[in-house]
Structure 1
């Protein structure tokens, strides 16, 4: 009888472990998506439901939240394991995620970021199918993961999956990935880093989101040496002709990379001035090496 009771208790414990949910944060979280940060700041009540307010910041190191832009409202129904959202230019509630789904299930979801498509009928939806389901452990916490079958993999881009308590590998507000249109043309949003309560849970060291990254901001195809913030000021920024570097450091060389990671220009830094007149309009990353061997990356825009 004692062995039978132990077996039953063991079974109950196992079931409870698999039924545990990892919830979305309601504060103290940062998602790094391309060269944007998504943060939670406050809440709002709409039609009797309380939503967390998600903001987007165009700041690679999150030095200031003064320029934050409302990205959307988000609430989680822990009973149904669904996550709902409202686009910043809409009052229509749409489904972002359903973590109760299993292999073979289909669901209709929407993006709600300011870059997301929206028309006269509301937020544009996309129907996806769950290809497979597994569980991953991040910093000692189990998360359910759903792999998406009808996603951008069909276009040869990012294979999408959703992680419980975090969102899509395209970002927290970007399920069923759409192209977004920016100054550089169509882009695929991509989550490169996730921080919660001051701890980086996903970064370039993880195999879960595999990209060559540096310090939770987006730099493609960089060398493996660590990059750091060298506190270099670029001006004017945006620019159309000359880019000047304001710093007391002894600079040695530079590389300029496009948003896709292609090296478009490189050279030595003798007078802390770089001509960018030959570059097309767009966002670029300036990789800088000092004479002491330190490396840093700064973002600038050519207009």
Structure 2
């Protein structure tokens, strides 16, 4: 049970999926330009010393096959381990509760400060994110862990970096399992369509009412004030769009000429907000 008596199923971190991070250094403190998108894939399997690990791959494109393996990871009893050469390190521990302390060794690749860290857990709770209840762990002064997603505001291999703290602009903005977006964060630095998924101002994932005919999707608008409807491929390519009357109650999206596959429906309102939902076209 969660902190409020709610029940939920544990969502493992180590699963076939990919994460999107935006690396933002607004003051250019590190001299080089890190205002870029990066994608991290958990994929494949490797056996090392009798243990089965999955590959953790970094890619600047939308295809892990073109990326670089940066770690091997595994999960056991809600704890995530990183294999660094011959040494295995604890990466995440989702069993932690308020009052616990986690110790990070000085030699750990997760600890760039070089000092042994003893970090107290100041609170835990459960909340709904991406349509799923998840446990959230607050580590004093360093990070927030979210079950199934990992760190809330750090790069995947930089979970502990006290010299950087909350000033870093590294932001987890999506997790995708297959062609399903399981988490999509509000993204307020740029209003854009990023190549691997939609990430826009005031984005929400909601259950839209979408009826299907052989030649169209009929979308019921969740209220008034929507001015633009878009259909994009999962690559980010725009397949169709139309301007809407702000009082319109629905929109018909033609699909007869589209190839079968996964698409994203985006509705934009006159207040700068958007609703995003994946649909399958057969």
> Scaled by the length of structure 1, what TM-score is found?
0.50
Alpha carbons 2:175, 2:182 under 8 Å: kept:
yes
Question: Could you say which structure has the higher helix fraction?
Answer: 1
Matched, 1:106 2:101: yes
In structure 1, what is the equivalent of residue 68 of structure 2? 69
Alpha carbons 2:112, 2:161 under 8 Å: kept:
no
The separation in 2 between residues aligned to 1:86 and 1:26, in whole angstroms, is 16
Matched, 1:145 2:136: yes
Matched, 1:200 2:181: yes
* 1:126–1:31 CA distance, 2 compared to 1 (3 A): farther
The RMSD of aligned alpha carbons is 3.9
In structure 1, what is the equivalent of residue 60 of structure 2? 58
Give 3-state SS (helix, strand or coil) of 1:102's partner: coil
* 1:85–1:55 CA distance, 2 compared to 1 (3 A): same
Matched, 1:135 2:126: yes
In structure 2, what is the equivalent of residue 36 of structure 1? 38
* 1:230–1:195 CA distance, 2 compared to 1 (3 A): closer
Instruction: Choose the corresponding residue for 2:146, options 137, 149, 163.
Output: 163
- Give the CA deviation at 1:39: 0.5
The separation in 1 between residues aligned to 2:128 and 2:236, in whole angstroms, is 34
In structure 2, what is the equivalent of residue 174 of structure 1? 158
In structure 1, what is the equivalent of residue 80 of structure 2? 83
* 1:136–1:189 CA distance, 2 compared to 1 (3 A): same
Matched, 1:22 2:21: no
> Scaled by the length of structure 2, what TM-score is found?
0.53
Give 3-state SS (helix, strand or coil) of 1:17's partner: coil
* 1:202–1:171 CA distance, 2 compared to 1 (3 A): farther
- Give the CA deviation at 1:133: 0.5
- Give the CA deviation at 1:125: 6.0
Give 3-state SS (helix, strand or coil) of 1:40's partner: strand
The separation in 1 between residues aligned to 2:100 and 2:183, in whole angstroms, is 27
* 1:193–1:139 CA distance, 2 compared to 1 (3 A): closer
The separation in 2 between residues aligned to 1:224 and 1:165, in whole angstroms, is 23
- Give the CA deviation at 1:74: 1.0
Alpha carbons 1:97, 1:109 under 8 Å: kept:
no
Give 3-state SS (helix, strand or coil) of 1:21's partner: coil
The separation in 2 between residues aligned to 1:56 and 1:73, in whole angstroms, is 12
* 1:44–1:143 CA distance, 2 compared to 1 (3 A): same
- Give the CA deviation at 1:76: 0.7
Q: Structure 2, unaligned stretches of length 5 or more?
A: 23-36, 204-227, 238-282
In structure 1, what is the equivalent of residue 263 of structure 2? none
The separation in 1 between residues aligned to 2:57 and 2:129, in whole angstroms, is 24
- Deviates further, 169-178 or 133-142: 169-178
* 1:140–1:33 CA distance, 2 compared to 1 (3 A): closer
Alpha carbons 1:128, 1:176 under 8 Å: kept:
no
Alpha carbons 1:31, 1:171 under 8 Å: kept:
no
Alpha carbons 2:14, 2:75 under 8 Å: kept:
no
- Give the CA deviation at 1:48: 1.4
Rg (Cα) greater in structure: 1
1:223-302 correspondence runs (5 A): none
Alpha carbons 2:14, 2:80 under 8 Å: kept:
no
